[in-house]
Amino acid sequence: MAAKKELRIGLIGTGFMGRTHSNGYNRVPNFFPDLEYTPVLKVVCSRNAEKVKAFAEQWGYESTETDWKAVIARDDVDAIDICTPNDSHAEIAIAAAKAGKMILCEKPLARTVAEAQEMVDAANEAGVNTTVWYNYRRIPAVSLAKQIVDSGKLGKIFHYRANFLQDWTISADVPQGGTGTWRMDVDAAGSGVTGDLLAHCIDTAMWINGAITDVSAVTETFVKERMHAITGKVQPVGIDDACIFHCHFANGSLGLFESTRYARGHKALYTFEINGEHASIRWDLHDLNRLEYFDHRDEGIVRGWRSVHVTDGDQPYMDKWWVPGLGIGYEHSFVHQVADFLKSLETGQPCSPNFQDSLETQKVCEAVLDSATSKSWKDTGVESFTM
Ligand code: SOE
């Protein structure tokens, strides 16, 4: 077998996402042996020297750094993987692009459209490959939903409905800012559920159903003040705890989206449903190997919702795993993203969503927040979304 080409990774950030990405890099060679490229875990970076050493040992990184600029300066790194809080994505990505590094950036791309645009410009100017980890696209049942819609089986699409429900911030004692709770701090995160959770729903929705053209939204911040974990001060909360919006898609369908961190009992309930002229599909993250499908053209006496167990070799990604009937999990979506990024280096095609695609998602998020503040409909400025 020909020697593999190496993609030498410099990972910045060792939180939850640092772990999901590292697992992706580690699993790919076992399950995607035909790829020309293989990831090499060159260096991991975090401010705490002791913790970053332990992370490197646990996940198999060759070395550590405590300053992200040192990672970008290294000649033995080809790609920078950004797993830090949202307020540092732009600075790190722009520096990485200037140094000619490829960039794999955790979602959302940035806090604002302005930041995201600068990142796109820097990446385009440098001509470097990029991708953003909107991982849910790469769950086989979600990829299959796209294939089914693209095949025309649903006919004209009328409705796209999505939810992302959690309940981890109901207590007023949850702080804002700091490790683990930076998502609660508007300066670090940019927004609340809109950028953190609805961004996933918007990415999947536009990938499957095309551009969202205009939006009307309402947001709420249920707990108005929280202690800041770094300053110790009780400060106003600037993020949206909940957001509901409706919208038009360019294809004429209507969208309805809801996200909250106040839905008691729901930990990460991401669901979507699409209703077309002939058929409907729906998906639920808590039962991620299944895609529900209803086809009105079925013979009347057996017509009904089918529950398709997406574990067969002819369904997306599933030929790479076990045998038909055996399911996979959340972590595999990250393995698939690594595999697709490596494949994109072979084919020269972008690994969607790249920075440009994710800028479009950012535009929808910003229009949603603007609409809620101004209590009016807002155009997103997204004209087409074909990735
Ligand atoms: C928030 O709790 C979070 O971890 C998001 O940041 C992730 O993007 C989402 O996939 C799961 O929930």
| Distance, CA of 376 to CA of 367 (rounded, Å) | 10
Residue 209 contacts residue 274 (beta carbons within 8 Å) = yes
| Distance, CA of 91 to CA of 250 (rounded, Å) | 33
Question: How many structural domains does the chain have?
Answer: 2
How far, rounded to the nearest angstrom, does the alpha carbon of residue 45 sit from its chain's CA centroid? 22
Q: Quick one: pLDDT at residue 79? A: 99
Rounded to the nearest whole angstrom, what is the distance from the C-alpha of residue 268 to the centroid of ligand 1?
8
Residue 169 contacts residue 262 (beta carbons within 8 Å) = yes
Q: Whose CA is nearest to atom 1 of ligand 1?
A: 196
In this structure, is residue 180 part of a structural domain?
yes
Whether the ω angle into residue 236 lies within 30 degrees of 0, i.e. cis, is no
In this structure, is residue 387 part of a structural domain?
no
- Strand-strand pairing, 225-227 and 234-236: antiparallel
Ligand 1 pocket check for 268: Cβ under 6 Å: yes
In this structure, is residue 313 part of a structural domain?
yes
Mark the ranges of the chain whose per-residue pLDDT is less than 50: none
**Do 191 and 243 sit in the same domain of this protein?**
yes
**Do 346 and 323 sit in the same domain of this protein?**
yes
pLDDT tens digits along 323-343: 999 999 999 999 999 999 999
- Strand-strand pairing, 279-284 and 290-295: antiparallel
Q: Quick one: pLDDT at residue 385? A: 80
Rounded to the nearest whole angstrom, what is the distance from the C-alpha of residue 328 to the centroid of ligand 1?
19
Rounded to the nearest whole angstrom, what is the distance from the C-alpha of residue 13 to the centroid of ligand 1?
15
Ligand 1 pocket check for 241: Cβ under 6 Å: no
Q: Quick one: pLDDT at residue 383? A: 86
CATH value at residue 339: 3.30.360.10
**Do 46 and 143 sit in the same domain of this protein?**
no
From residue 94, alpha-carbon distances to 75, 109, 117, 202, 245 in Å are: 17, 12, 11, 24, 32
Residue 218 contacts residue 284 (beta carbons within 8 Å) = no
In this structure, is residue 182 part of a structural domain?
yes
Q: Quick one: pLDDT at residue 290? A: 98
In this structure, is residue 84 part of a structural domain?
yes
Core vs surface per residue 91-115: b (16+ CB within 10 A) or e = bbbbbbbebebbbbbbbbbbbbbeb
Ligand 1 pocket check for 196: Cβ under 6 Å: yes
Helix (H) or strand (E) holding 234: strand 234-236
**Do 269 and 346 sit in the same domain of this protein?**
yes
Rounded to the nearest whole angstrom, what is the distance from the C-alpha of residue 341 to the centroid of ligand 1?
21
Q: Quick one: pLDDT at residue 11? A: 99
- Strand-strand pairing, 290-295 and 306-309: antiparallel
Residue at a domain's end among 120, 135, 150 = 135
Rounded to the nearest whole angstrom, what is the distance from the C-alpha of residue 193 to the centroid of ligand 1?
9
Rounded to the nearest whole angstrom, what is the distance from the C-alpha of residue 239 to the centroid of ligand 1?
15
| Distance, CA of 250 to CA of 159 (rounded, Å) | 12
Degrees, nearest 5: CA angle 328-136-238: 135
| Distance, CA of 72 to CA of 148 (rounded, Å) | 41
Q: Quick one: pLDDT at residue 2? A: 79
**Do 21 and 104 sit in the same domain of this protein?**
yes
Q: Quick one: pLDDT at residue 384? A: 82
**Do 248 and 364 sit in the same domain of this protein?**
yes
Rounded to the nearest whole angstrom, what is the distance from the C-alpha of residue 242 to the centroid of ligand 1?
14
| Distance, CA of 238 to CA of 34 (rounded, Å) | 47
In this structure, is residue 385 part of a structural domain?
no
In this structure, is residue 161 part of a structural domain?
yes
Q: Report which DSSP code applies to 320.
A: G
**Do 280 and 374 sit in the same domain of this protein?**
yes
Q: And the tokens for 240?
A: 């949206």
DSSP string, 13-78: --SHHHHHHHHHHHHHHHH-TT-SEEEEEEEEE-S-HHHHHHHHHHHT-SEEES-HHHHHH-TT--
**Do 96 and 196 sit in the same domain of this protein?**
no
Mutate to test the pocket of ligand 1, among 89, 166, 196 (most ligand atoms within 8 A of CB): 196
Percent of the chain, pLDDT > 70?
A: 99
In this structure, is residue 279 part of a structural domain?
yes
Residue at a domain's end among 96, 116, 135 = 135
Q: Whose CA is nearest to atom 9 of ligand 1?
A: 197
User: Which ligand 1 atom sits closest to the C-alpha of 136?
Assistant: 10
Rounded to the nearest whole angstrom, what is the distance from the C-alpha of residue 156 to the centroid of ligand 1?
32
Residue at a domain's end among 114, 135, 156 = 135
Q: What is the dihedral of CA 145, 82, 195, 210, to 10 degrees?
A: -30
User: Which ligand 1 atom sits closest to the C-alpha of 16?
Assistant: 4
**Do 131 and 144 sit in the same domain of this protein?**
no
Q: Quick one: pLDDT at residue 138? A: 98
| Distance, CA of 249 to CA of 283 (rounded, Å) | 20
Domain containing 310 equals 138-379
**Do 94 and 149 sit in the same domain of this protein?**
no
Catalogue the E-assigned strands of 100-156. 102-105, 130-132
Q: Whose CA is nearest to atom 10 of ligand 1?
A: 197
Mutate to test the pocket of ligand 1, among 20, 197, 200, 241 (most ligand atoms within 8 A of CB): 197
**Do 289 and 240 sit in the same domain of this protein?**
yes
**Do 186 and 319 sit in the same domain of this protein?**
yes
Name the residue among 158, 164, 248, 165 with its Cα closest to residue 204: 164
- The reply to whether the predicted model has a pTM over 0.95 is yes
CATH value at residue 129: 3.40.50.720
Q: Which region holds residue 178: left if phi is over 0, alpha if psi is between -120 and 50, else beta? A: left
User: Which ligand 1 atom sits closest to the C-alpha of 135?
Assistant: 10
